[in-house]
Amino acid sequence: MEVTVIDVIKQMEVVIPSILAATLLLTSTIKGIFKINSDLANTIISWVLSVGTAMLFVLCNGLDFGLGEWNYAVAGVAGLITGLSANKIYTWDAIKALLDAITNLFGGNKNKA
């Protein structure tokens, strides 16, 4: 079976938001049930859940890159990328400055108060 780049992008545009939603939901549920207040623990839980959810997509044939067993490796990378988002990488000062610069390059944020 041949999988094109377009097929991969189509899969990712469905899978990444689904992994992110599941990660955020499960992390907040676990945090609430076990009364976890540690940022480090929440970060670890988010990473584990995002990678695990991505692997589950491959296991259930929801994500297939046509790479056989390497699908799990690619899903792991997708889980890591989603984990970055779930752990709020965009709040890091360097990343925030970069994103603000890109936003300003395209006209800035017109909704700022």
Q: Residue 74 pLDDT more than 60?
A: yes
- DSSP result, the chain: ----HHHHHHHHHHHHHHHHHHHHHHHHHHHHHHT---HHHHHHHHHHHHHHHHHHHHHTTS---S-GGGHHHHHHHHHHHHHHHHTTGGGSHHHHHHHHHHHHHTT--TT--
Domain count, the chain: 1
Residue 111 forms part of a structural domain: no
Q: What is the pTM of this model?
A: 0.68
Residue 85 forms part of a structural domain: yes
Q: Residue 8 pLDDT more than 80?
A: no
The per-residue pLDDT for 62 is 77
Residue 54, both tokens: 């991505």
Range of the domain at 98: 5-105
Residue 44 forms part of a structural domain: yes
